[in-house]
Structure 1
Amino acid sequence: MLDEKSIVRGEDGMVYPHEVWKKLLQTGKFSIKSRNTKTENGQQEWVIYELTAEHRKALMERMPKPMQSDSFIAGEKFDGFKTSDINGNKFDLKNTDGKIIVLNFWFINCPPCKAEIPELNELTEAYKENNNVIFIAIALDDRYDLKDFLKTTPFNYNIVNSGRSFAERYGVKSYPTHVVIDKTGTIKFSTLGLATNTIAWIKKSIDESLASN
């Protein structure tokens, strides 16, 4: 059994601290397997290795679908709103005009919210040339705190500050909560919390929405 005392090496042979290999596994980009060798006292050693794109996709597909949020039910119409982000950009989500909207409800002191930011940034990078996909992060925090946080932790969504009223409007109580709204204004996918395949399902939902007529 793997635990905090397990000896886990990288492919370079170096021993990784528990917090390091645990975070790598949580990204879904790495897997772990037992080594043929053991320590002098007979303790099993393990090796953590990066998955290929094909293996990662297969792994994500085998895993259970992330839990749906009770606030956003797939197949229902999204009741949109108007808002502005911390940079003054305005968004009218009452009229998405064929756009795909990707929402993230979060706050600064939420550990899983912060943990997924690097992968969310990779997600926005994948669609940066597509103006039909809009990423909006509804934060509970005020503008000043967000500006300060973003100095050290870049987050490439369009970030809306002081979004507690929006969270309360939809009954969002668990964070992070993600929602993908398709071109017809219908909820395609939602989930709460952070699972290993959360980001993969967000991407899958975006791609399916883009491919639909």
Structure 2
Amino acid sequence: MYKITLLFIALLFLNISILFAQDKKQIYYDEKGNKISFMEFVSIEMSGRYTSYSDSSSKYKVEWKWIANSEQQKNEFISKARVENIVADSIGQTFPGISFYDINNQLYNKDSLNGKIVFINYWFVGCTPCEAERPELNRLYEKYKNKDDIVFLSFSNSDEKTVRKFLKSHAINYPVAIFSRTLDDKLGISEFPVNIILDKSLKYKLYMKGISKGTSLLIEETLEDLL
């Protein structure tokens, strides 16, 4: 069974216990004031860019809104992620020489990736923390997609049929490949989600297991440092 990070579970149950302890309708908004689902609310909470607060002035409902976090708060989340999520002994190691196709039949190998900054996200269908971080990963992809020296990739541990069905209703804006037995043997991924950044010589610059409020912030900081 895949490990789910204790931090995420604690956050999820904390929010649930707060929300359902009150006999009022819960209404969630994004940072622009649009109504969203509870899962979308959790995604923003985990981004580290905002802190939620509740407006329970109404007798019948509680509205959940956002305050932008300061740079100091963001840096604190990043520092915590460095301690709790980074696999330090992988940093500086060379990424295994692999060759694979994404689900659109695009080939990737050492030759095509060498000289590029490579971001890789590992996930599977049904992974709640993977869902929580995906909007932020899509945001980062949109930010960097026009830079020729950055490649975003996604490996799913689910079978191709399940992944294709999932993608019909869930947006992943960057290429998706299936995590094969060969890749599993070479990479040894056993916990999801995992986020990796390789420098232009295909050495690990960032290797993060699990999810925290500093995950996407640290990914973005690392990409900026490598540009």
TM-score, reference length from structure 2 = 0.73
Q: Residue 159 and residue 22 in structure 1: after superposition, are their counterparts in 2 closer, same or farther (change >3 A)?
A: closer
2:86 to 68, 76, 80: 68
Q: Residue 157 and residue 18 in structure 1: after superposition, are their counterparts in 2 closer, same or farther (change >3 A)?
A: closer
- Asked whether the 8 Å contact 1:143–1:162 carries over to 2, the reply is no
Q: Residue 157 and residue 173 in structure 1: after superposition, are their counterparts in 2 closer, same or farther (change >3 A)?
A: same
Distance in 2 (CA, whole Å) between partners of 1:17 and 1:121 is 18
2:76 is matched by which residue type in structure 1? R
- Asked whether the 8 Å contact 2:47–2:215 carries over to 1, the reply is no
Residue 186 of structure 1 corresponds to 203
Q: Residue 146 and residue 47 in structure 1: after superposition, are their counterparts in 2 closer, same or farther (change >3 A)?
A: closer
Q: Unpaired segments of 5 or more residues in structure 2?
A: 1-13
Counterpart secondary structure, 1:116: helix
Distance in 1 (CA, whole Å) between partners of 2:182 and 2:70 is 37
Q: Residue 167 and residue 34 in structure 1: after superposition, are their counterparts in 2 closer, same or farther (change >3 A)?
A: same
Residue 73 of structure 2 corresponds to 59
Residue 130 of structure 1 corresponds to 147
Q: Unpaired segments of 5 or more residues in structure 1?
A: none
Shift in Å, 1:103 = 0.9
Distance in 2 (CA, whole Å) between partners of 1:203 and 1:91 is 23
Aligned residues: 200
Structure number with the higher helix fraction is 2
- Asked whether the 8 Å contact 2:99–2:109 carries over to 1, the reply is yes
- Asked whether the 8 Å contact 1:21–1:48 carries over to 2, the reply is no
- Asked whether the 8 Å contact 1:9–1:48 carries over to 2, the reply is no
* Deviation sequence 1:105-143 (CA, Å, 0-9, x none): 111121111222111111110011112111111111222
Distance in 1 (CA, whole Å) between partners of 2:159 and 2:167 is 12
- Asked whether the 8 Å contact 1:140–1:164 carries over to 2, the reply is no
TM-score, reference length from structure 1 = 0.78
Larger Rg computed on CA atoms: 1
Q: Residue 22 and residue 180 in structure 1: after superposition, are their counterparts in 2 closer, same or farther (change >3 A)?
A: closer
1:29 to 23, 27, 49: 49
Residue 112 of structure 1 corresponds to 129
1:65 is matched by which residue type in structure 2? A
Distance in 2 (CA, whole Å) between partners of 1:10 and 1:150 is 25
Shift in Å, 1:50 = 3.4
Residue 141 of structure 1 corresponds to 158
